[in-house]
């Protein structure tokens, strides 16, 4: 399995697992919490068949990547992505993030610029800013995220069951858009993640990306379900589109957080249409 070393912890390297398939314009896929690059199972074949080179990697602490005890913040996540971009010498690339992965897209473009990037895709995004503050009064109370961390510390496997039920909107989609087998597969991936990385993740969701978003200068696409139970659509996708002039927002009516799986045909078509566009995406829904 291929790995790229992004750092060192004590006596061992911090290695990120990645897969690199196909030829053509590179599309870099950045997964969400609490999964791995395996979450792109339904997107990779579609991209390959359409003639794109696809690169998917596991964030530190998740999947087959190293599980260090540090580095669980968006400056480090973006630096890890930068290492992948430079080590593989990717150019004219399309960055595609889902959920937690959209933070990497925003912070990377803010810190490292768009010299290697042609377009950006935010699927069920975290940006621009989730936490309730004086200048963000409609955000979510920090105590909610503190509660997530307490539950993770007390019983991480049980937390993942509850989280994935919201992730897939299990009560609505079980046996329809999500099988019990697929749910178990994702639970297995989630529980293989580092306990430290899992515990650290909810705190990163409160990162303020507003300044990062203001620096994004590439055509951008936002895709989100209107019934997202993990990242509420009015606080995330709608606000992100308003903060990115010229971006395009595709709202999937009634869809959950896990749209790369539950609404793969719609997501794939949107990705391919956007990737093929030669003019900047226009605002709209």
Catalytic residues, by residue number, are 99, 228, 257
Residue pointed to by tokens 């004590």: 10
| DSSP single-letter state for residue 140 | B
Residue pointed to by tokens 């991480």: 156
CA-based R_g, the chain, Å? 17
| Rounded Cα–Cα distance for residues 68 and 65 (Å) | 9
- Which residues lie below 8 Å from residue 187, measured CB to CB, with a gap of 6+? 157, 160, 161, 164
210: exposed, middle or buried (C-beta count within 10 Å: 0-12, 13-18, 19+)?
Answer: middle
185 φ, ψ (degrees, to nearest 5): -60, -45
SS3 166: helix
Of the candidates 256, 246, 265, the one whose C-alpha atom is nearest the C-alpha of residue 226 is 256
| Rounded Cα–Cα distance for residues 20 and 41 (Å) | 14
Cis peptide before 34 (omega within 30 of 0): yes
Residue pointed to by tokens 């979510």: 140
Cα of 242 vs its chain's centroid, Å: 20
| Rounded Cα–Cα distance for residues 72 and 201 (Å) | 7
CB 218 within 8 A of CB 109: yes
| Rounded Cα–Cα distance for residues 74 and 106 (Å) | 9
């Amino acid at each position: 399995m291929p790995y790229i070393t992004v750092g060192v912890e004590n006596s061992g390297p911090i290695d990120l697992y990645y897969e690199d398939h196909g030829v053509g314009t590179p599309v870099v896929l950045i997964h969400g919490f609490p999964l791995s690059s395996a979450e792109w199972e339904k997107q990779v074949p579609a991209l390959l068949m359409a003639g794109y080179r696809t690169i998917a990697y596991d964030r530190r602490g998740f999947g087959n990547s190293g599980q260090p005890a540090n580095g669980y913040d968006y400056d480090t996540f973006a630096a890890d992505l930068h290492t992948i971009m430079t080590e593989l010498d990717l150019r004219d690339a399309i960055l595609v993030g889902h959920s937690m992965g959209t933070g990497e897209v925003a912070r990377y473009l803010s810190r490292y610029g768009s010299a290697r990037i042609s377009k950006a895709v935010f699927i069920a995004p975290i940006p621009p800013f989730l936490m309730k503050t004086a200048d963000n009064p409609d955000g979510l109370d920090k105590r909610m995220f503190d509660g997530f961390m307490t539950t993770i510390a007390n019983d991480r496997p049980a937390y993942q069951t509850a989280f994935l039920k919201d992730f897939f909107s299990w009560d609505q989609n079980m046996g329809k858009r999500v099988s019990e087998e697929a749910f178990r597969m994702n639970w297995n991936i989630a529980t293989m993640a580092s306990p430290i990385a899992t515990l650290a993740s909810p705190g990163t969701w409160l990162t303020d990306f507003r300044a990062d978003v203001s620096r994004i200068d590439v055509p951008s696409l936002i895709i989100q379900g209107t019934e997202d139970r993990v990242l509420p659509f009015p606080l995330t996708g709608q606000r992100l589109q308003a903060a990115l002039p010229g971006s395009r927002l595709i709202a999937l009516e009634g869809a959950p957080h896990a749209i790369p799986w539950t609404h793969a045909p719609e997501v794939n078509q949107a990705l391919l249409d956007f990737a093929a566009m030669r003019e900047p995406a226009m605002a709209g829904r």
